[in-house]
């Protein structure tokens, strides 16, 4: 009887465990999709999305524009303009594709472990650059989902060979986010002489060739020479203004905690390997993938693109997630006899010190000598707690708790700013404001009432492509046009004769920058992300004077 009851209790435990895991997966998947849905509904059009939509619109009307990179996603975006001028259908496409990411991570449980997969999904969920790229209509709208599903396919031993045909097509017509995966994992497998089968190569090659051919035809919009979208987008990221801030600045603002955690895990794994411990092939592949993605980020530090951040955050999440699961187990098993006092004491000391720093940040200057001594003392107390915990192998794992808290604070702050469309958030930027569309509406109305032409200065041709979509014929000119009824002109330009100024403070582009290198400025912005000034590209709108 007791044995039967024990079996029943064991079954109940297994059911409870399954239910808890299912609940965790469901909640994370909903949070993942919800954050991106919120961003899709509220994010202003800017940065890489502004370039993507402008290029897609130009392709739709048959105009050549270097901003049209013939990815499959951008071709679908151009197709949606057959029945709408809104960006929302394209955003919905990106959102639907990205919403499959939790299912892909779920399929990677044999690789990551149950807890590791959950923590990986959590890291992907709170990844601010991933939220932006996965919910807006840039040329890389499908990239995040494609990258993770390619990994699933690589790790699925029973996957049919024909599945590589659509995978090859989608990869050949995608953006550059999946390239570090191909280079990193490909290099490891080449070194190990782990080659794909001939059927897999055949199907993947055929799909890729078809994708390159379709992209070169611009998906039916006309031959454009040989085009390979992943490499085209990769190259464009070094020269196009897809962000006002540099890639380096964006990585510090949004990705610093994850990069630090990834570096720590990589160093630990390499240290284990030097001691003779074998790392499984999947771990080595993710390390190689992360290394290639980090090299891409380093090469892009002077560029202005958020795409390399997403290229790095995906492998780092896969690297750090399982490590966090192991670290959580170690922290749970640590000796908390003294740690239960030292960890809260450390966090309290840091919290009080941070309160002083935030007060200084609001005042714009450091405090007096007494306050500086107090902050220094609190930091010494915190460091003392760290030293005591690190001095014993039984308590060192308890340091994971304060490290996680410190890393989560700036990460969640950045996530909230991007997902909830903060008006001063550096991503996305530059932004096409609603006012630019208002200028277009005024110009169209004036042309309908008075006749004539709408003239735009060449300086604003690229900035106004999206705002002036579906406006008929526009004249791009830096000089007077006799038949012009509306002129959009630089604020510092010479006023054309015979025109009156339309009252208003008009702008065609807003540029949102992050905090400068000053620590107090950064802390002030971290506590209140609406404190930064927003730059603008001003214009003057001239209307033809009446008789």
Q: Is residue 52 part of a domain?
A: no
**Count of other CB atoms within 10 angstroms of residue 381:** 17
Same domain? For 296 and 337 the reply is no
Do 142 and 335 form a contact (C-beta atoms < 8 A)?
no
Q: How does strand 534-544 pair with strand 484-490?
A: antiparallel
In angstroms, the CA 422 to CA 428 distance is: 10
Residue 123: name the closest of 261, 293, 328 by CA: 261
In angstroms, the CA 247 to CA 16 distance is: 45
Same domain? For 149 and 256 the reply is yes
In angstroms, the CA 87 to CA 70 distance is: 17
Same domain? For 343 and 287 the reply is no
Q: Is residue 232 part of a domain?
A: yes
Q: Is residue 58 part of a domain?
A: no
The pLDDT, as a whole number, for residue 12 is: 47
**Count of other CB atoms within 10 angstroms of residue 338:** 15
Q: Is residue 177 part of a domain?
A: yes
Same domain? For 295 and 238 the reply is yes
Do 444 and 485 form a contact (C-beta atoms < 8 A)?
no
**Count of other CB atoms within 10 angstroms of residue 181:** 26
Do 460 and 481 form a contact (C-beta atoms < 8 A)?
no
Residues in CB range of 113: below 8 A, 6 or more apart: 322, 325
Same domain? For 407 and 441 the reply is no
Q: 392 is in which domain, residue-wise?
A: 330-419
Domain boundary (368, 389, 419) is at 419
Residue 283: name the closest of 275, 293, 295, 273 by CA: 273
Same domain? For 412 and 465 the reply is no
Same domain? For 317 and 342 the reply is no
What is the DSSP code (8-state) at residue 494?
A: P
Domain boundary (386, 419, 452) is at 419
In angstroms, the CA 452 to CA 196 distance is: 63
Same domain? For 269 and 352 the reply is no
What is the DSSP code (8-state) at residue 536?
A: E
Instruction: Find the Cα–Cα–Cα–Cα dihedral 28, 33, 39, 45, rounded to 10°.
Output: 140
Phi and psi for 170 in degrees, rounded to 5? -65, -40
Q: How many domains does the chain have?
A: 3
Q: Is residue 57 part of a domain?
A: no
Kindly tell me the burial class for residue 439, based on how many C-beta atoms sit within 10 Å of its own C-beta (0-12, 13-18, 19 or more): buried
Same domain? For 237 and 385 the reply is no
Four-residue CA torsion sign, 525, 425, 348, 404: negative
In angstroms, the CA 293 to CA 180 distance is: 5
The pLDDT, as a whole number, for residue 18 is: 57
The pLDDT, as a whole number, for residue 1 is: 43
In angstroms, the CA 199 to CA 7 distance is: 48
Q: Is residue 55 part of a domain?
A: no
Same domain? For 315 and 397 the reply is no
Same domain? For 266 and 122 the reply is yes
**Count of other CB atoms within 10 angstroms of residue 100:** 15
Same domain? For 270 and 305 the reply is yes
Q: Is residue 49 part of a domain?
A: no
The pLDDT, as a whole number, for residue 208 is: 96
Q: Is residue 53 part of a domain?
A: no
pTM, full prediction: 0.91
Report helix, strand or coil for 368. coil
My answer on whether omega of the bond before 466 falls inside 30° of 0, hence cis, is no
Residues in CB range of 108: below 8 A, 6 or more apart: 117, 120, 148, 151, 152, 155, 318
**Count of other CB atoms within 10 angstroms of residue 547:** 3
In angstroms, the CA 178 to CA 174 distance is: 8
Domain boundary (387, 419, 451) is at 419
In angstroms, the CA 386 to CA 398 distance is: 10
Give me the tens of pLDDT residue by residue for the chain, a chain 547 residues long: 455 555 554 454 444 455 688 889 999 999 999 999 999 999 999 999 999 999 999 999 988 889 999 999 999 999 999 999 999 999 999 999 999 999 999 999 999 999 999 999 999 999 999 999 999 999 999 999 999 999 999 998 888 999 999 999 999 999 999 999 999 999 999 998 888 899 999 999 999 999 999 999 999 888 888 999 999 999 999 999 999 999 999 999 999 999 999 999 999 998 888 887 888 889 999 999 999 999 999 999 999 999 999 999 999 999 999 999 999 988 898 888 888 888 898 899 988 988 888 888 777 777 778 888 888 898 899 899 989 988 888 888 888 888 998 999 889 989 998 999 888 889 998 999 999 999 999 999 988 888 888 999 999 999 999 999 998 888 888 887 888 889 999 988 888 888 888 888 889 999 988 887 677 777 777 777 776 778 888 899 988 875 5
In angstroms, the CA 289 to CA 315 distance is: 6
DSSP string, 214-282: HHHTGGGT---SS--HHHHHHHHHHHS-S-SS-HHHHHHHHHHHHHHHHHHHHHHHHHHHHTTPPPPHH
């Amino acid at each position: 009887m007791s044995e039967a009851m024990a079996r029943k209790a064991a079954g109940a435990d297994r059911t409870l465990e399954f239910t808890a895991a299912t609940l965790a997966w469901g909640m994370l998947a909903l949070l993942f999709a919800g954050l991106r849905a919120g961003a899709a509904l509220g994010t202003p059009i800017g940065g890489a999305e502004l370039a993507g939509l402008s290029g897609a619109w130009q392709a739709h009307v048959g105009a050549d524009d270097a901003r049209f990179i013939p990815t499959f996603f951008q071709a679908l975006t151009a197709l949606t303009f057959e029945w709408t001028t809104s960006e929302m259908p394209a955003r919905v496409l990106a959102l639907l594709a990205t919403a499959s990411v939790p299912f892909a991570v779920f399929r990677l449980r044999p690789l990551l472990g149950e807890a590791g997969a959950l923590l990986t999904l959590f890291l992907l969920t709170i990844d601010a650059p991933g939220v932006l790229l996965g919910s807006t209509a840039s040329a890389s709208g499908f990239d995040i989902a494609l990258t993770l599903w390619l990994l699933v396919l690589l790790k699925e031993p029973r996957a049919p060979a024909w599945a590589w045909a659509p995978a090859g097509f989608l990869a050949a017509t995608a953006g550059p986010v999946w390239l570090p995966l191909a280079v990193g994992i490909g290099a490891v497998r080449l070194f190990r002489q782990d080659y794909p089968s001939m059927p897999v190569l055949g199907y993947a090659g055929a799909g890729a060739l078809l994708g390159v051919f379709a992209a070169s035809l611009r998906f039916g919009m006309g031959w454009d020479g040989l085009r390979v979208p992943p490499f085209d987008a990769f190259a464009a990221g070094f020269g196009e203004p897809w962000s006002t801030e540099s890639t380096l600045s964006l990585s510090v603002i949004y990705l610093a905690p994850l990069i630090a955690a990834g570096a720590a895990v990589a160093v630990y794994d390499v240290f284990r390997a030097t001691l003779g411990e074998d790392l499984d092939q999947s771990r080595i592949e993710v390390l190689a993938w992360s290394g290639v993605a980090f090299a891409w980020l380093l090469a892009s530090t002077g560029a202005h693109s958020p795409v390399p951040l997403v290229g790095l955050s995906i492998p780092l999440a896969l690297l750090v997630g399982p490590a966090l699961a192991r670290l959580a187990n170690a922290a749970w098993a640590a000796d908390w006899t003294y740690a239960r006092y030292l960890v809260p004491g450390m966090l309290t000391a840091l919290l009080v010190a941070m309160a002083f720093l935030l007060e200084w940040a609001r005042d714009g200057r450091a405090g007096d000598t007494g306050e500086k001594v107090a902050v220094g003392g609190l930091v010494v107390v915190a460091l003392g707690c760290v030293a005591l915990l690190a001095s014993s192998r039984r308590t060192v794992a308890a340091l994971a708790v304060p490290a996680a808290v410190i890393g989560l604070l700036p990460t969640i702050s950045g996530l909230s700013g991007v997902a909830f469309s903060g008006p001063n958030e550096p991503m996305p930027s530059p932004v096409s404001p609603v006012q630019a569309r208002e200028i277009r509406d005024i110009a169209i109305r004036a042309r309908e009432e008075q006749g004539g032409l709408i003239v735009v200065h060449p300086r604003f041709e690229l900035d106004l492509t999206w705002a002036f979509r579906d406006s008929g014929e526009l004249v791009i000119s830096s000089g007077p046009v006799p038949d012009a009824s509306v002129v959009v002109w630089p604020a510092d330009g010479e006023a054309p004769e015979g025109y009156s100024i339309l009252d208003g403070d008009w702008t065609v582009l807003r540029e949102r920058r992050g905090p400068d290198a000053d620590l107090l400025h950064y802390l002030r912005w971290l506590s209140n992300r609406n404190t930064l000034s927003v730059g603008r590209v001003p214009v003057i709108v001239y209307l033809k004077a009446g008789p």
